[in-house]
Amino acid sequence: MNTPRETILAALFARLATLPATALRGEVLPERVPAAGLLILRDGEPGEPEVTLSPLRYHYQHRAEIEAVVQGNDRDTTFAALCASIGAAISAERTLGGLCDWVEAEAPRPVDLPIDGAASLKAAVIPVILHYSAADPLA
> Bridge-partner residues for 40, per DSSP?
24, 67
CATH value at residue 95 = 3.30.70.1700
Half-sphere exposure (CA, 13 Å, Cβ side) for 65?
12
The full DSSP string for 85-107 is: HHHHHHHHTTTTTTTSSEEEEPP
- Is residue 117 included in any domain, yes or no? yes
Q: Is residue 11 part of a domain?
A: yes
Contact 103, 129 (CB under 8 A): yes
Q: Rounded to an integer, what is the distance from CA 28 to the centroid of its chain?
A: 15
Range of the domain at 93: 4-134
Structural domain total, the chain = 1
At residue 87, the pLDDT reads 97
Q: Please report whether residue 124 resides in a domain.
A: yes
pTM above 0.85, yes or no: yes
Q: Is residue 109 part of a domain?
A: yes
10-residue averages of pLDDT along the chain (139 residues): 92 97 95 93 96 95 97 92 97 96 96 84 97 90
- Residue 139 domain-assigned (yes or no): no
